[in-house]
Each structure stands twice: as structure tokens, then as C-alpha cells.
């Protein structure tokens, strides 16, 4: 007999995340929304072919990589070492891993580490590729009251102490990791990650002005056909504004976005 998970097309965690996004997080308090649920299933099902198309991989490869990721039991390892972490096993985290497997980056740069869930997924991808390194920047927010971003909005992501930045990252993945602590505004422009970067991921201060500033700062250091990835894209128009400023076609999934830099036109003969 088909299980509930079978009926969700084999992506129960992905559908849950899509449903959460559809209902703006009111999934536990609002009455069930059948239409939103149908859209969530369709979204979850569309992610593999869409990310395959964006990265130039085949859907078969994407499924294979997801199988390898789940076989590595990274989500369970993170939960065991860091029970307060969240987001493991979500499409947001798993698609970061897929990007790494498909793009085979030499250099990834990310802003916003907190407990290190995104970092762990990037690093697992680098390990499975057996190449590449990750440079992360985080200005730790200590204590549960969080920090006001540049627009005065409260961001509650935090760690208990400075040494907990990246606490979720298993020791076995750390040899490929470089962490710089401080404000991205100060550290990003002169970060010692070798250029060009293959992937840049924004997940720090989600104010419009800061997001735009990070995209504008990282973009020139990305290689042709490199990827700009961002969290919290629906919060404001920064990602879409930046995409249109570089004539890029944004790929959006749940709360995240990706933008591929164009191939440089060949010089005239």
C-alpha cells in the first residue's frame, strides 16, 4: 500500500518546506489550504528538472547526487552534534549540495554561517567532488534576542557564543573550510579567497541595501558562468533588481534564488 511519503512523490520534506513557504509559515496554525498544498507538491516536483536545467546537469545526475547525500546521512550527523540547528534535509540545504556537485567549484564564498548548516552542505559537496574550498564570513549574533538588520528589522538567528559559529559542521568536513569572523561590509571586499569565485552565497543581513551591496561586491569576482545564490529573496526586491541590472534570468526556489553569470563574449578577431 502506498505510504503518505509515496503519494508526495518521494519528497515529503521538500513538500513540507514548499507548503511552509506557500502558507508563509502559518502551516501549524492556519486551517489546511488544499490549493496551497497542491502548489507545494508541484513546486517540489519541479525542483529537480529546473535545477538540472540551470546547472547543465541531467535530472538523473541530480537524483543520483541526492541519493549519495542522503546516504552520507549528513542531516542526521548535524542533528546529533547540534540539536538546535534547523534546515537539514530541506530542499534549501540539499540544493546547495546539488549545485556543488554539478558546478564542481574551486572556490565558494558565503556570508552568514550561524550554526553552519549551509556550510556543512557546501562542504559535503566539495568532499564528494574531492576538490574545492569554502570561505565563510560571519558576524556572530550572540544570544536569542537577535540583531536588528540595517532596516531595523529583527533577525533572530544567533549562536550561544563565538566558538559556536559553524558548530553543526562535522570535523571530517572542516579541512576545506576557511572562516573569517566580522562584518561582511568590512571583510568581503578584500577576502583572501582566490579569484575568480565559482559560487557566492548570501545569507547574512537581509536588508535590501545590504543584499544589493553584497551582490554588487561579489559579482565582479565571480567567474563567467559562475553562480550568485541568495537566501531570503522574497523579503524585498533586491535580488530581482540586481538580476535585471545585469540582464540575468533569476531562478527562484522557495525562499532562495540563483543567478548565473553570462559567458564572456569572445573578443573580436
Ligand X SMILES: C[S@@+](CC[C@H](N)C(=O)[O-])C[C@H]1O[C@@H](n2cnc3c(N)ncnc32)[C@H](O)[C@@H]1O
CB 193 within 8 A of CB 150: no
**How far is the C-alpha of 202 from the C-alpha of 206, rounded, in Å?**
9
Q: Does the protein bind ligand X through residue 16 (CB under 6 A)?
A: no
**How far is the C-alpha of 222 from the C-alpha of 263, rounded, in Å?**
11
Angle at which helices 91-103 and 59-72 pack, to 10 degrees? 120
CA 160 to chain centre: 22
Residue of 16, 129, 141, 217 that binds ligand X (CB under 6 A): 141
Residue of 21, 23, 118, 124 that binds ligand X (CB under 6 A): 118
Instruction: Give the per-residue contact string, 67-106, with ligand X (x = CB under 6 A; - = no).
Output: --------------------x-------------------
Nearer Cβ to ligand X (183/235): 183
Instruction: Give the per-residue contact string, 144-183, with ligand X (x = CB under 6 A; - = no).
Output: -------------x-------------------------x
| Rounded-to-5 percentages of helix, strand, coil across the chain | 45, 15, 35
Contacts with ligand X: how many residues (CB under 6 A)?
Answer: 20
Q: Does the protein bind ligand X through residue 117 (CB under 6 A)?
A: yes
DSSP calls for 40-90: HHHHHHHHHHHHHHHHT--HHHHHHHHHHHHHHTHHHHHHHH-TT---TTS
Residue of 17, 77, 133, 138 that binds ligand X (CB under 6 A): 138
Contact segment (CB under 6 A) with ligand X among 23-31, 124-132, 197-205, 240-248 equals 197-205
Q: How far is the CB of 214 from ligand X (least distance, A)?
A: 9
Q: How far is the CB of 181 from ligand X (least distance, A)?
A: 9
Is residue 45 reached through a cis peptide bond, with omega within 30 degrees of 0 on the bond before it? Answer: no
- Backbone torsions φ then ψ of 35, nearest 5 degrees: -65, -40
Q: How far is the CB of 139 from ligand X (least distance, A)?
A: 4
Nearer Cβ to ligand X (114/198): 114
Q: Does the protein bind ligand X through residue 230 (CB under 6 A)?
A: no
Cell numbers linked to 42 = 508541484
Nearer Cβ to ligand X (105/140): 140
Q: At CB < 8 A and 24+ separation, what contacts does 37-46 make?
A: 40/15, 40/16, 41/8, 41/9, 41/15, 43/18, 43/253, 43/254, 44/8, 44/9, 44/11, 44/14, 44/15, 44/17, 44/18, 44/91, 45/9, 45/11
Q: How far is the CB of 117 from ligand X (least distance, A)?
A: 3
Q: How far is the CB of 247 from ligand X (least distance, A)?
A: 28
Instruction: Give the per-residue contact string, 204-223, with ligand X (x = CB under 6 A; - = no).
Output: xx------------------
- Which residues form the interface with ligand X (CB under 6 A)? 87, 111-115, 117-118, 137-141, 157, 183-185, 203-205
Amino acid at each position: 500500500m502506498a505510504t503518505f511519503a509515496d503519494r508526495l512523490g518521494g519528497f515529503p520534506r521538500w513538500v513540507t518546506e514548499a507548503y511552509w513557504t506557500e502558507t508563509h509559515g502559518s502551516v501549524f496554525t492556519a486551517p489546511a489550504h488544499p490549493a496551497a498544498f497542491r502548489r507545494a507538491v508541484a513546486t517540489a516536483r519541479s525542483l529537480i528538472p529546473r535545477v538540472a536545467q540551470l546547472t547543465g546537469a541531467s535530472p538523473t545526475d541530480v537524483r543520483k547526487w541526492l541519493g549519495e547525500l542522503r546516504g552520507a546521512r549528513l542531516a542526521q550527523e548535524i542533528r546529533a552534534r547540534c540539536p538546535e540547528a534547523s534546515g537539514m534535509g530541506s530542499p534549501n540545504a540539499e540544493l546547495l549540495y546539488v549545485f556543488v556537485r554539478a558546478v564542481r567549484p574551486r572556490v565558494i564564498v558565503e556570508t552568514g554561517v550561524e550554526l553552519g548548516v549551509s556550510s556543512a552542505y557546501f562542504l559535503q559537496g566539495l568532499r564528494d567532488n574531492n576538490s574545492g574550498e569554502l570561505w565563510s564570513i560571519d558576524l556572530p549574533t550572540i544570544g536569542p534576542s537577535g540583531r536588528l538588520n540595517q532596516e531595523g528589522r529583527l533577525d533572530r538567528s544567533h549562536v550561544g557564543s563565538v566558538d559556536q559559529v559553524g558548530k553543526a559542521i562535522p570535523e571530517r568536513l572542516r579541512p576545506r573550510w576557511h572562516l573569517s569572523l566580522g562584518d561582511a561590509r568590512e571583510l568581503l571586499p578584500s577576502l583572501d579567497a582566490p579569484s575568480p569565485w565559482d559560487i557566492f552565497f548570501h545569507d547574512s543581513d537581509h536588508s535590501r541595501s545590504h543584499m544589493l551591496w553584497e551582490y554588487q561586491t561579489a559579482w565582479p569576482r565571480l567567474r563567467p558562468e559562475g553562480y550568485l545564490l541568495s537566501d531570503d529573496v522574497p523579503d524585498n526586491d533586491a535580488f530581482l533588481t540586481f538580476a535585471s541590472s545585469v540582464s540575468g534570468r533569476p531562478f527562484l526556489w522557495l525562499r532562495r534564488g540563483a543567478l548565473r553569470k553570462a559567458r564572456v563574449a569572445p573578443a573580436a578577431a
